[in-house]
Structures are given as structure tokens and as C-alpha cells.
Chains A and B, each alone.
Chain A
Amino acid sequence: MGGDAAARFAERSRRLMDAVELRESDRVPAIFYTMFWHARFGGMSCRDAMYDYDRVDAVMRRILEEFQPDAYALPHPMTAFGAIMERMDYRQMQWPGHGTDENVSFQYLDREYMKAEEYDEYLFDPTGFYLSKYLPRVAGRLEGLSRLSDLPGQYYMGLVLGMRHYADARVLAAFGAMREAGEEARRMLGHALAFAKEMEQRGFPQAQGAAANAPFDYFGDNFRGSKGILLDMYRKKNELLAAMDKAGVFILRQALAAGSRSPSRVVFIPIHWAFDGFMSLAQFKTFFWPSFRRLLIGLIDGGLIPLVLWEGDCSSRLEVIGDIPAGKAVYWFERTDLVRAKEVLGGTVCLRGNVPASMLTTGTPGEVDAFCRALIERVGKGGGFILDGAIGIPDEAKTENVRAMFESVRKYQP
């Protein structure tokens, strides 16, 4: 790393840690995070952004040099996984060439991937369920794994002779697809790592490393679908609570392992189903918060920094979610008023956000500048604030508005 770049890297890293640990700093930091805006900026299609690793590198290089954020979220693991999904015939998403147009972002398919009556099976043996039921449902080419049921039932000579299952043509086909997808995943992540290294040499820290989900979202998004989990809150209350406790252990272990391998200690946790209009505060306290809090505390105890993106308006949750150790996490709010969040949570957690997506997309640089200034002056006071868009940089944001946002941290002081 060159002397200047090394100094910039250290300065930016310190500025971010000052914010996390609620200390005043030389200025408010700003982070670059997007799903597909880089594609628009670089004149690529969404499809290119999901498949062409080199072009993603090239455009991200330009973005970082031009906007000089204090940190950035590596786009590859967030968007450039088209080829991996293709190799496994992944079914939980539609993406360019696989259900959506060339220029439309990927979209998750909100469906039931585990039936309500399967909670007991999940609770008895999560790994067995995952292997023999879940994987074959969510990935077409992994259907052969359904042949591998009841592994602990194979022991002694049954175990030895049970080896024949691993030569079953359907099982082998699944293993073959896993290998192909795995090799592609390694290629992509290797590429991403090299890019991150290069950016480090140029003075840009990564904003986040591992990712995780709240246990409620884990089931709602990935297993039961939104309608399923809403009904489970009444029809399968005890099973859902028990399953979340169980899944929470796996989610934490996985995030701790991934976090310890990553150069960034920040664990990104987008929160989908916690917002005010979705469930009551009493339901939030019963169904959402307890298992999620355990995850947060587990990550913090493991030396990691949870970065929680609270989607929607979570105003009524602020008092409850403040129950974590001070200076150890970042709460990124999408539509919650940050001034009010600062009043309630300012002494506990670093806040991030939240220039509206509508303003970055349809507004003017003057509006963005004024909005950022107000945030910096009001929410940045005393430290503990990171400037960002409400959902990062929206895919359709105007370049001049993005520029205004990143310039504002250099223009205004808390």
C-alpha cells in the first residue's frame, strides 16, 4: 500500500470505528452501498452486473475513485451470483434471463418452501430436513439429495453398505451440480477478494463482511413465505418459536465463522418483517426480538459488529431494540425518523441512513444537499452517525444526487 493510500485507509477505518463506538470524529463518514446502481452508472445491464465480474470491478473502481466514500459494500457477493444460481438451478429467485428482463434486478420469490405441518420434522432434525427436503425444493439440480434421508439410521454394516447411496445416479447428479456451483462460487469470491485487496491498496475499507438474518426473517423469507409465517403466528406459535430458537444457533455459528474469515468485522443483517405495520409491538416482543437479540449479543460477544438494516418504519420498536450493549452495533433505518431514533438510541447504537430513495431518484442535488446537511447537523451531533441512502443508493438514482450526498460529509459538520 502506498503511503498516502495507507494513511487514507487508516483514517477512514478510524472514522468508521469512531462512529460505531459513538465517539466524535473529524467528520461524519459516508458509505457506498447499492444493489444495481453501479450497473446503471457504468452503462451495464443488470444481467452484466450479475455475471460479468471484470466489468463489475471496472465500474466499482471508477465509483470509488470518483465519490471517495469512507467504505463500500463489495458488490460481487450481493449481486454477481447469476452464474452460481444457474449451475444449481436456484428456484427462490427470478433474475435477468431467468424470469426478469435484462435490465431488471433480481427478485426474491415469496413462496412456501416448507409446509406448516413440517415444523415437527424440522425441529426433530433441522439438518436432515435441510438436506433431504429443503435443498431439493430450492434448487432443481439438487433434487437427488432427497435420496439421502435418515443418515443417522445408517450405522455399522448399514453405514458401510449405505455407501451405495453415494453412487446413485440421482445423488451423483446432485453432487455434480453442487461441485459446479461451488467452483463458480469460488471463482466469483476469489475475484471479489482480489478486488477488495486492490481497493484496500487504494485506501478503501470494506463496509461489511459476513451476513446474517433474524430468525423470524429466516423462516418468513426462506421457508414459510410471508403468508405462511403470518398464519404460523396463530396456528403454529409454539413450533415457530422453538424453530427460531433452533435456527438461531445455526445462524449465529455460521455468521461467527464467516465473520472471522472476513477482513471486515461488520455483519450485515437486513431486517424484513419487523416494521410497525407488519405486527403489533406485543407480537414483535414475542416473535421477533428475543431470538434476534440473542443473535446480536452472540455476534457482539464474538467480537463482530452487527449492522442491522431496519427496513420500513420501525418507530414503535426503538425502545425495545435499544436493549443491547452500547457502542457495539450499527442500526441503519430505512424510513424511521433518525432524529427521533437519535433521541432514543443515541447513547446506545450508531445510526445510519437515510436519504430517501425517492429523493435520490427523482429529486435535485440541492434537495439532497439540504437533506444531508440536516441529518449531519442533527443526527451527527456527538458522533455515532454514518450517512447513507435509506436503502443505500437506489438502482435508478441520478448521478448528480449521489455526488451531492457524498460531498455533503465534506461540506458540513455536526
Chain B
Amino acid sequence: MTENERRLIEAIAEMREEEALELAKAMLARGEDPLRVLELCREAMDIVGKRFERQEYFLPELVLAGEMLETIGAIAKPLIQERSGGEAKKLGRVLIGTVHGDLHDIGKNIVTFMLDINGYEVRDIGIDVPVAKFVEEVRGFQPQVVGLSGFLTLAFDSMKETVQALEAAGLREGRRIMIGGGQVDEAVRTYTGADAFGGNAVAAVSLCRQWIAA
């Protein structure tokens, strides 16, 4: 690894945004491989994710890291030649959405982000998602894990209905359902019939690790 490469990883991981963007831009301007730059970003995100899990980093760092990644990605991606692959192999598929009646998305977005940087292919189907839409998306995407998010107490019933609909559609078998957000706890898990609940994004990642064998 070159000195510049090491510095880019460090700048992202240490939240030095301006420096990170300058380094990345300079590397790309010099004609360095854009795939390599993105790979360095991924390494930096690994560090950010681990620090988040250790509660050294919190939401401001996750969001800022996400912004840096997006900015660098937007410059690097058009430069990528038609070369083979490049994308790391995904560990598994997770479908996530906020259940119907609830418009909250911060928690869901954080979980999506953490799963993504941990190597999962995440399909986020948005907020206020009708039961039928969950069923349709699960059928199409065939995720190993379904994440139901909700901040309001009305989400308890929406989650329960969604779980039941997946069951009725024969889509529960061989698939795990996790819930999270706001007031969700073990009592809500029992009520909704989900497999597990998580209190934060780190819990969501460990559930997926547990459920999806590498």
C-alpha cells in the first residue's frame, strides 16, 4: 500500500473530510485505478463500522462517512472502464422497509447503511410500505432476512400483519424476520411473531451474521 493510499484510508476513518476528498480526487486525476480508490474507501468504511460497533463512533460519523463515500464514488464510478467484476461478493440478501402507517426512516437508513458496509446486498423498499408490497418484494428479491422497521406504536400491528402475510404467502419458510425501531422490544417481538428484534444497527448486523452462514 502506498503512502497516499494509507493516508486516504486514515482521512476517511478519522473524519477528515476535506483531506479525504482532496486525496481521492488527486489520485483519480493522476489516473490511478478508480476501482482501487473505491476499494480503499471500503477498507476505511470497515474501520468506521468497527468503531461504530465498539461505540467509539456514533451517527454523525456514520453519516459523514457515508457522504464521503458517496462523493468519491460519484467521481470514481464514471472513470471505471469496462473491466470485469470489481464488486466484492455479497454475503447475503436483506430486504428492509418501514411498515405501513409509519413514515420514519432514520433508523432504517442507518441499518441499511451498516448492513451494506458489512457486505450484505440490501434492498430498501422505503417507508409506509403496504403488506402486499412486502410480499411482492420478498417474492422477487428472495432475501434470507427481512427487516421490518417502525418508530410509532401503530407499527406493532403493521409488523404483525406483515409477518402474517409473509407466512400466508408461504414466504416465511427458510427466511428470518427481524424488527426494530422506537418502542420495539421482546414483548413486541412476541406480539408480531418476528424471529428477533434489534435495539440498534449493530444488532441488525449481528443477527444477519448469525442467520446467514458465510
Contact = CB atoms under 8 A, between A and B. Distances in A.
Interface of A: 94, 100-101, 104-105, 107, 109-110, 226-227, 230-231, 233-235, 277-280, 283, 356-359, 361-363, 390-391, 394-396
A396 B188 CA distance: 13
Contacts of B102: 107
B68 to A, nearest CB: 10
B157 interface: yes
B153 A395 contact: yes
21 contacts: A105-B152, A107-B104, A110-B104, A231-B63, A231-B64, A233-B60, A234-B60, A235-B17, A277-B200, A278-B59, A279-B60, A356-B187, A358-B187, A358-B188, A358-B191, A362-B156, A362-B187, A394-B153, A394-B183, A395-B152, A396-B157
A198 B101 CA distance: 35
A48 to B, nearest CB: 16
Contacts of B185: 356, 358
A200 B203 CA distance: 48
Contact of B156 (A107, A230, A278, A396): A396
Contact of A357 (B60, B153, B190): B153
A-B pairs, top 3 by smallest CB distance, nearest first, are: A358-B187, A357-B183, A394-B153
A362 B190 contact: yes
Contacts of B157: 396
Nearest to B202: A277
Nearest to B183: A357
Interface string B56-70: 111110011001000
Contacts of A356: 183, 185, 187
A283 B61 CA distance: 11
A92 to B, nearest CB: 12
Nearest to B185: A358
Contacts of B56: 280
A8 B190 CA distance: 41
Interface of B: 15, 17, 55-60, 63-64, 67, 101-106, 152-154, 156-157, 183-185, 187-188, 190-191, 200
Contacts of B58: 277-280, 283
A109 B105 CA distance: 10
A161 to B, nearest CB: 47
B154 A395 contact: yes
A103 to B, nearest CB: 9
Given A359-B187, A363-B187, A230 B60 contact: yes
Contacts of A226: 106
Q: Is the interface of B mostly helix, strand, loop or mixed?
A: loop
B60 A361 contact: no
Contact of B106 (A110, A233, A394): A110
Contact of A230 (B59, B154, B183, B190): B59
A361 B154 CA distance: 10
A358 B180 CA distance: 12
Contacts of A278: 58-59
Nearest to A390: B183
Nearest to A104: B101
A390 B183 CA distance: 9
A356 B67 CA distance: 36
A110 B59 CA distance: 16
Given A277-B59, A396-B156, A396-B157, A362 B200 contact: no
B156 A361 contact: yes
B187 A231 contact: no
A234 B200 CA distance: 23
Given A104-B101, A358-B187, A361-B191, 18 more contacts: A105-B152, A105-B154, A109-B103, A110-B104, A226-B106, A277-B59, A278-B58, A279-B59, A279-B60, A280-B58, A283-B60, A357-B153, A357-B183, A358-B156, A362-B156, A395-B154, A396-B154, A396-B157
B39 to A, nearest CB: 24
Contacts of A283: 58, 60
Nearest to B160: A362
A358 B63 contact: no
B60 A101 contact: no
B148 to A, nearest CB: 15
Contacts of A390: 183
Nearest to A395: B153
B153 A101 contact: no
A358 B101 contact: no
A235 B21 CA distance: 14
